[in-house]
Amino acid sequence: MTWRVALQMDPPERLNPAGDSTILLALEAQRRGHALWWYPAGSLCWREGVLWTQHARRIRFFDDTSRWFEQDAPETLGLNEMDVVLMRQDPPFDMGYLTATYLLERIHPRTWVANDPFHVRNAPEKLLPLLFADAMPPTLISHDAAAIRTFLAEQGDIVVKPLYGYGGHAVFRLNGQSGNVEAILETLLAQPEPLVAQRFLPEVTEGDRRVVMIDGQVAGLLGRLPAAGEIRANLRVGGTAAQAALTPRQQDICARLGPALQARGILLAGVDFIGDWLTEINITSPTGLRALKQLYGTAPEADFWDAVARRRAA
């Protein structure tokens, strides 16, 4: 059976053809005979039960880093008529993003939306791990500078970052040697969103772990090694992917996570560990599929579409 698939994503020219997971998912969809369109999230319109965009483009992807897509002229596309919608645009997790989840919720699951927009909205990546607080390092979520200073004094060495940040942006380490704590807090707290503060884990100098989970099952594991002098191992900020193995504690945590992700319709998640500590569960637009394929010769993109097919059939 072939499907009509809409990709809610950033403009394709902004994608990294060498490593982007969206391209890999799209290539597998095309291999299965599915027809693809893409549209920007801000273009959604709703009226009298119909959700559509006037800015969709029929698109075809190629496994070629010099020419990775071609697209047709803009057209009006009714999302109620689609078989599947993939939410694949990058954060920020702002009101525009939230509005898209509200609108897509109106058509799901008749049009299958992955990940489930209700749970994408209600379980952003730095809040979903709170369901498993015992697996996390000491963590504070706050917009109160005094509370963050107290947490720093208690822990001695912490990392702070915006609650709805992504890709390793605006991540700072604060400790007794930091001479600009107040300036960093003043800058970060100038934004309305709270911060996440966590005890600094020295294991991060040896890299972190990204576990790709598809429909609640472990599909693969990436070791992510930070660049020299960095505490951020994200591939987008210069980290390097490497083969790795799960520790017994990481396996136990993933076994606990699996049913929770399945129950929430989270077909694709990127679960992050530093050492044996759970730090994030990425569900908005998780990456790492291309690196898994290159490191292990597996096909996580096929596993994903198999999971979509099972969910739609059910």
Q: Could you tell me if residue 13 is inside a domain?
A: yes
Clarify whether 173 is annotated catalytic: no
From 272, 290, 301, 303, active-site residue: 272
70 assigned to active site = no
Same domain, 194 and 208: no
Same domain? 190 vs 227: no
| 280 catalytic per annotation | yes
Does the annotation mark 125 as catalytic? no
Distances (CA, A) of 288 to 109, 143, 199: 26, 31, 25
57 is catalytic: no
Last residue of a domain, one of 152, 176, 200: 200
Measured torsion, CA atoms of residues 199, 202, 207, 212, in degrees rounded to the nearest 10 = -30
Residues 163, 99, single domain; the answer is: no
Total tally of structural domains belonging to the chain: 3
Q: Give the domain range for residue 269.
A: 203-302
Q: What is the pLDDT along the chain (314 residues), one digit of tens a residue?
A: 899 999 999 999 999 999 999 999 999 999 999 999 999 999 999 999 999 999 999 999 999 999 999 999 999 999 999 999 999 998 778 899 999 999 999 999 999 999 999 999 998 889 999 999 999 999 999 999 999 999 999 999 999 999 988 777 889 999 988 778 999 999 999 999 999 999 999 998 888 999 999 999 999 999 988 776 666 556 665 678 899 999 999 999 999 999 999 999 999 999 999 999 999 999 999 999 999 999 999 999 999 999 999 999 99
Residue 162: CATH number of its domain? 3.30.1490.20
> Is there a catalytic annotation at residue 293?
no
Q: How far apart are CA 219 and CA 249, in angstroms?
A: 17
Model pTM above 0.85: yes
Enclosing H/E stretch for 115: none
The residue from 210, 234, 264, 301 that is catalytic is: 210
58 catalytic, yes or no? no
Catalytic residue (one of 116, 215, 282, 290): 282
